[in-house]
Structure 1
Amino acid sequence: MSPQVADSVRPRRAGRLASGGAIREAAAAMFLENGYQGTSMDDIAAAAQVSKQTIYTHFPSKEALFADLVLGNAERVEEFVATVSRTVAAAGDDMEGGLRQLARVYLRLVMQPDVLRLRRLVLGEAGRFPDLARTYYERVPGRVINALSSVFSALRDGGRLHLDDPQLAAQHFAWLILGSPLDRGMFYPIAEPMPEADLQRAADGAVRVFLAAYGSSR
C-alpha cells in the first residue's frame, strides 16, 4: 500500500472505530434505560449521532447489538477471574486474609450500579433470548464459580480446606458473599456503589461462615 493510500485509509478506519464506540455507548444507555422492546434502532442512531445505515454497517440487527452489550460485560469478569488464584496464593499462610480480599473484590465488582442494571436487563429479557441469557451465565457467574472451584480444589489438596465437592463449596462461597447485598440491589436500584464499610462487613462475615464450614480445623 502506498503512503498516499495509507493516509487516506487511516481517517476512514478511525472514523469506523469511533462510530462503533459511539454506537455501543448509545445502545448501552438506551437498552439499560428502556429495555430491549423500548429501544429502537432509530433511538440508538439519534443518541449516537450516526445514521441507521452506519449502525447496520457494524451490527446486522438490533438483537446483535443487544448481544454485544450483554456479552461485552464478560471482559470485566475475565479480569477478576485472572486474579482469583493469584490473590489467594499471594496471601501465603494467611488463607483467611486472602479469601477476605477475594470476597471484597468480588462483591465490589458485582455491586457496581451498571452491573446490577445489566443483570436486571438480562433477567428481564431471558424469556425472549434464552440462549443469550444462558451464555451470559456461563461466561460471567459461571466462570467465577469455576475459577473458585479450582482454587478450593488446590486448597483441599494442600490440606487447608476440608471439602468433598469444590464446585459446591464455590457456590456456597459466592452466595454467602453476594446473597443479601445482591438480592437487595436487584430490587432497590442504586445510583452509587455499595458503601465500603458495608461491603467489607458483608464480605468478611461471609468468609468467616465459609471457613466455619470448610476450614481444615473445623
Structure 2
Amino acid sequence: MADLTEIDPISRTDRKRAAILDAATEIFLHQGYLGTSMDEVAAQAAVSKQTVYKQFASKEALFVAIVTSMTGAAGDVVQREIADMGELDDPEKQLLAYAERQLLVVLTPRLMQLRRLVIGEAGRFPELGRALQEGGPGRAVAGLSSALARWTDRGLLSIEDPQAAASHLNWLLMGEPVNRAMFLGDAAIPGPAALRRHAAEGIRVFFAAYGNRARQTP
C-alpha cells in the first residue's frame, strides 16, 4: 500500500507546521519570548530545527504567526454572526449576545497571557502589536461599525459616526475587565455571570447614547 504522506506531501507539511505552531504556542505562553528557543520548539514538535526554520524564517516570524493564529481563532468565534447582524431586528438583543460572546472569548487566561507577551515585546517587534491590534480590537470595531451603520440606515439606531460608536462600544465592554486581568493576573478575570452583567450594563449605556429616541417615544 502506498504511503499517504508520499501521495500528499502538502498535508504532511501542513501537519508539521501545525505541530510547530502548537508546540511553540505552549512554550511561548509559559516561558515568554526571550525564554523560548527554536531548539526547544523543534524538540517538542518532534521535527528538526531545519524544518522549523523552513516554515518560519525567525523566532519573531514564528511568534507573529502564533499571535495571528490565536487572535484569528478567537475573532472567528466572536465575529461568527456579525456579517448579517445589521439585517436583523432588535439591535439591543443582538448586541447583548455579541457582547457576552466577546467578553467570554477574549477574557481567557491564554489570550491574556498572549496579550501580556505582545505588549512586552511590541517595542522591539512592532509587527507583534500590529498583528494583535488588527486581529483583535481592529477586527471587532470594523465588524461592529458595519452592523451599526446598517441599523442606522434602517432607522433602528441614531448614529452619526458608526466607526466612532463601534470603538466606544468595544472599549466600554472590554476596557475595565481587560485592564483588570492584564494588571492583576488571571485570578482577576471575572466569572461568566459577572461578565454577562457587565455586558448588559455596557449595552444599556450604549443605547442610552445611541438608541433611536424617536422610536422609543410612546
Q: Normalized against structure 1, the TM-score is what?
A: 0.86
Give the corresponding residue for 1:25: 22
Structure 2: runs of 5+ lacking an equivalent: none
Partner of 2:82: 84
1:74 Cα deviation (Å)? 3.8
Q: What is the RMSD computed on CA atoms of the aligned residues? A: 2.4
CA displacement at 1:102 relative to structure 2: 1.0
**2:178 is matched with which residue: 178, 182, 189?**
182
Shift of 1:192: 9.9
Conserved? CA contact 2:29–2:114, under 8 Å: yes
Say if 2:50 is the partner of 1:53: yes
Tell whether the 8 Å contact from 1:150 to 1:166 is kept in structure 2 after alignment. yes
What are the residue-to-residue correspondences of 1:44-193 with 2, within 5 Å? Answer: 44-76=41-73, 77-87=75-85, 89-90=87-88, 92=89, 94-190=90-186
Give the superposition deviation at 1:7. Answer: 4.8
Q: Percent identity?
A: 40
Q: Distance in 1 between matches of 2:164 and 2:13?
A: 46
Give the letter for the 2:62 counterpart. L
| Deviation, structure 1 residue 79 | 4.4
Q: TM-score, normalised by structure 2?
A: 0.86
Contact 1:161 1:216 in 2 (8 A): yes
Aligned residues: 213
1:130-186 Cα offsets, whole Å, 9 max, x none, are: 133123312321011011111111111222212211111101111111121111111
More deviation in 204-213 or 123-132? 123-132
Bigger drift between 207-216 and 74-83 goes to 74-83
SS in 2 for 1:73: helix
Once residues 75 and 216 of structure 1 are traced to their aligned partners in structure 2, the CA distance between those partners, rounded to angstroms, is 33
CA-to-aligned-CA distance 1:68-117 (integer Å, 9 cap, x gap)? 10111242214433411434544x2x321111111101111111221111
Residues 22, 216 of structure 1: CA spacing in aligned structure 2 closer, same or farther, 3 A cutoff? same
Residues 7/165 of structure 1: CA separation in 2 closer, same or farther (3 Å cut): closer
**C-alpha contact (below 8 Å) 2:158/2:212 kept by paired residues:** yes
Does the 8 Å CA contact 1:113/1:192 hold for their aligned counterparts? no
CA contact (8 A) 2:67 2:114 kept: yes
Describe the SS at the equivalent of 1:185. Answer: helix
Task: List gaps (5 residues or longer) in structure 1.
Answer: none
Q: C-alpha displacement at 1:34, in angstroms? A: 1.7
Change (3 A) 1:131 1:202: same
Cα 1:7–1:51, aligned 2, differ >3 Å: closer, same or farther? closer
Residue 36 of structure 1 corresponds to 33
